[in-house]
Amino acid sequence: MNIVLLTNTFTPHVGGVARSVQAFTDEYRRRGHRVLVVAPAFPDTPAHETDVVRIPAIQNFNASDFSVALPFPTGLKDTLDDFGPHIVHSQHPFLLGMTAVRIARHRRLPLVFTHHTLYEEYTHYVPGDSPVLKRFVIELATHYANLSDQVFAPSESIRDLLMERGVTRPILVVPTGVQVERFAHGDGRAFRERHGIPPDAFVVGHLGRLAEEKNLGFLATSVAAFLDRRPEARFLVVGAGPAEGDIRRTFAEAGLAERLHVAGVLEKEALADSLHAMDVFAFASRSETQGMVLTEAMAAGLPVVALDAPGAREVVEDGADGRLVAEQDAAVFADALEWVASRDAKARTALVRGALDTAEAYSMPRSAQKALACYEHLTPESGDSSAEEEKGWEQVMARIRTEWDIVRSLTRAGDGALSEGRAEDRSGGGA
């Protein structure tokens, strides 16, 4: 089968969607399928990639680490003609997601859409963020899902949410599987030595992009409260992003700066080593659609302490492979970490076993098999679109243009007001 995956994020960008696309791509290819990935260009993109088309993109959109791909790539038609796709799988409802619709409709191919992201949690990256914009992106994703022939939801929570929001297309729960063998082994002792972490320390760990939507302010406060109770405990953070400074400030203000270890972005063996240097994995995000990073941690034998939120609640079984914290309260979260740290050897072994069993249940081969079986049942005829659907999509696109014009005008108005205010300050006006 020849599969086209269109995504707005891909390696070397570090993030959940990029890792998901890479993981499915690797597993599909391992099973003998051809995969063509269409993705934006990023800084440090590898010079030689097999079956990857890079689209020119705006880098570091609005001071984020995202690239914004141009939705009208040139030269893609010839590549697709040579590739001969059987199915088109979109990872986003905008930018290259729009390209995915055009490809599927023009070539009368099935369109699959994975609703990876709660987009309303990311509108702070866009000028003019507001409740209206949040509602708009929800409606946009819902309309887009109803243009597809099949929707993949990464978790049961997201499936239920999409149905509540009005998605009427078939929805199949297909989580991004964990590559268990990749995380099963690591040299945690050597990693601790390299990063100045005592061998007998109890290490709370976290892995991910350090960004506002990950609720890292709360996580840092909670872990700091736990460390304040246990002088031998440390906090190991793997990742990078704009929230790193806030984490460091929280620990400095608590007098715990020397017990915070930020390792930066790690890959391959170093990433596995970092997980094996931890004793428990802490996670506080409420914006996830699946618990991919949690299953990766569990594949390394780590119990997880997480807020009870979409993505986490499907993965963490309270008391069996970690703890689910029902309320966003730093003291309660710290208590959950203390619960794990205070387990005796037998109880700790049971938690590790529970984590490994959960990781196996979410293995990549299982997820890929589920997705491929669904692909097989989608026929080219299912890619036909009705005139009503096309009209609906054109209406959505018209609204996008209108909303963008509004956002742009508001931004310009704000810039003008600020410029005028600065001019008055310089001239002494209004004093």
d(CA 273, CA 267) in angstroms, rounded, equals 10
List, in order of start, the domains of the chain with CATH numbers: 2-177+367-381 (3.40.50.2000), 180-362 (3.40.50.2000)
Least confident residue range of 266-270, 326-330, 350-354, 396-400: 396-400
Q: Where residue 133 falls among pLDDT bands split at 50, 70, 90? A: low
Read off the pLDDT of each residue in 97-107 and give the average, rounded to a whole number.
90
Tokens 């609906």 belong to which residue? 392
Q: Where residue 68 falls among pLDDT bands split at 50, 70, 90? A: low
Q: Which of 161, 319, 402 is nearest to 151 (CA)?
A: 161
pLDDT at residue 98, as a whole number: 86
Q: pLDDT per residue over 9-25, tens digit each?
A: 888 766 778 888 999 99
Q: pLDDT per residue over 290-345, tens digit each?
A: 778 999 999 999 999 999 998 899 899 999 999 999 999 999 999 999 999 999 99
Whether the pTM exceeds 0.75: the reply is no
Phi, psi of 277 (to 5 degrees): -85, -10
End-to-end Cα spacing for the chain: 72
Helices 96-107 and 387-427, axial angle in degrees (round to 10): 160
Long-range contacts of 326-333 (CB under 8 A, 24+ apart): 328/215, 328/218, 328/284, 330/218, 330/221, 330/222, 330/225, 331/225, 333/218, 333/219, 333/222, 333/225, 333/226, 333/282, 333/284, 333/305, 333/307
d(CA 351, CA 230) in angstroms, rounded, equals 21
Helices 16-30 and 292-299, axial angle in degrees (round to 10): 60
Phi, psi of 237 (to 5 degrees): -115, 125
Encode burial over 104-127: b for 16+ CB neighbours within 10 A, e otherwise.
bbebebbbbbbbbbbbebbbeebe
Tell me: cis bond preceding 12? Omega within 30 of 0 counts: yes
pLDDT at residue 390, as a whole number: 55
